[in-house]
Amino acid sequence: MSPVLRVDELSVQFRLGTETVHAVRDVSLRVDPGEILAVVGESGSGKTATALSVLQLNPVPPCVYAGGEIRLDDRDLLRLSEKDMRAVRGNDIAMIFQDPMTSLNPLKRVGAQVAEVLHRHQGVSRASARAAVPPALAEAGIANPELRAELYPHQLSGGLRQRVMIAMALIGRPRVLIADEPTTALDVTVQARILDLLVELAQRRDMAVMLITHDLGVVAEVADRVAVMYQGRVVEDGSVSEVFGAPADDYTARLLRATPRLERV
C-alpha cells in the first residue's frame, strides 16, 4: 500500500535572534490509509514541531523549514504556495490539538466553528453548512447535537469540547488526521473514550492518523506503528509489537523501562 502522507528528511529550525534551535533533524515518517502511526517522545523531542510542520502551522518567523519534503500523495506541501496550502488545511489534512479549552474560540458557538470548515472548503452556504453540523457532532459521540451546536465552549465539559474538535476536524472528510496529544488535557476516564472514538472513526473512514503522544500506554492500546523521537531525530520506527517487544535503540529501551505498566504488553 502506498502511504498517503510521507515526511522525508525534514529539518525544522527556530531562529531566535542569533541562536538557532534545531527542533527537527532529518525526520522521515510515513502513514498509510487506515493506519495509526504514533509519534512518541518526551517534551522537546520535536514531535509537536514535526506535526505542526505538516500543516505549516509553526509560527514564521522564527520557524524555518530548512530542508526535506512533506508529500501528500505526490505533492510536496513545503513547495506549495500559502494559498494552495490553505486549501489542504482542514480539507485533506485536519488537526486536533492538546487543549480543547483554548483551541476553541470562546466567543463563538461551537456549531458555527464546526460549520466554518465546510463553508471554507466545500463552498456551501453558511446555512447548509450549519445543517451538516448536528450529524457531525452526533458522529463524534455528542448527544443532543442540535442543542449543543448552539452552546459556547465554556458551557461544555472538557471531553465534549474535544469531541467538538474531533467533529470539526472530521467534517471536511480529511484523508489524514494529525492528533497532537488529544487526550492529555482530559480526565483519565474520558481519555479512553476519546481514543476509542478516534480509532473507530479512523477505521471506518480508512483515514491515516498521526497520533502525537508521550504516553506509551496510549501507543500500546491504539497504534499500529510507532516512531520514537529524541532530540529532534527519529531514533526508532516500526510496528508497535516490534518496537515494544525488542527495542533496537537504547533510548527506546530506557523509555520503555520507565513505563512500568507496559510490562503487560
Partner 1 sequence: MAELTVRDREGSPGKSAEPRTGAGAGLLRGIATKLGTALIVLFCVATVSFFLVRLSGDPVKLLLPPEATVEQEATLRASLGLDRPLLVQYLDYLAGLPKLDFGTSLFYDQPVAEVLFGRLPATLLLAGAAMVVCLLIAIPAGIIAALRRGRATDSGVMAGVLIGQSTPPFWVGILLILVFAVQFQVLPASGYGTFAHLILPAITLAVYSVAVIARLLRSSLIDVLGSDYIRTARAKGLGPRGVIVGHGLRNASLPVVTVIGLELGSLLGGAILTEQVFSWPGIGRLTVEAITNRDFPLVQASVLFFAAAFVVVNLLVDVSYTLLDPRVRLRS
When asked if residue 154 is in the footprint of partner 1 (CB under 8 A), the reply is yes
Give the separation between CA 64 and CA 6, rounded to whole angstroms: 19
Does 120 sit near partner 1 (CB under 8 A)? yes
Site string for partner 1, 132-151 (x = CB under 8 A): ------xx-xxxx--xx-xx
Q: Cβ of residue 36: shortest distance to partner 1, in angstroms?
A: 18
d(Cα 163, Cα 153) in Å, to the nearest integer?
A: 11
Q: Which stretch binds partner 1 (CB under 8 A): 19-27, 83-91, 222-230, 238-246?
A: 83-91
- What nine digits make up the cell of 79? 513547495
Query: CB 71 → partner 1: shortest distance, Å?
Result: 19
Residue 155 C-beta: closest distance to partner 1, Å: 5
SS3 label, residue 122? coil
Return all residues near 27 (Cβ < 8 A) that are at least 6 apart. Answer: 7, 9, 10, 11, 46, 50, 68, 229, 232, 233, 234
Query: In angstroms, rounded to a whole number, what is the distance separating the alpha carbons of residues 77 and 53?
Result: 10
Among 20, 79, 102, 126, binds partner 1 (CB under 8 A): 102
Residue 117 vs 226, nearer CB to partner 1: 117
Structural contact between residues 181 and 213, judged by C-beta atoms closer than 8 angstroms: yes
String of DSSP letters for 39-60: EE--TTSSHHHHHHHHTT-S-T
Q: Select the span of 69-77, 115-123, 236-244, 250-258 touching partner 1 (CB under 8 A).
A: 115-123
How many CB atoms neighbour CB 258 within 10 A?
Answer: 10
Specify the residue, 41 or 159, whose C-beta has the smaller distance to partner 1: 159
The residues in 179-198 that bind partner 1, with binding defined as CB under 8 A, are: 190, 193, 197
Among 6, 30, 47, 89, binds partner 1 (CB under 8 A): 89
Q: Which residue is it, cell 482530559?
A: 186
Pick the binder of partner 1 from 42, 73, 76, 105 (CB under 8 A): 105
Question: Kind and range of the H or E element at 110?
Answer: helix 110-121
The residues of the shown chain that bind partner 1, judged by CB under 8 A, are: 55, 57, 59, 83, 86-91, 94-95, 97, 99, 102-108, 113, 116-117, 120-121, 138-139, 141-144, 147-148, 150-152, 154-157, 159-160, 163, 165, 168, 190, 193, 197, 200, 204
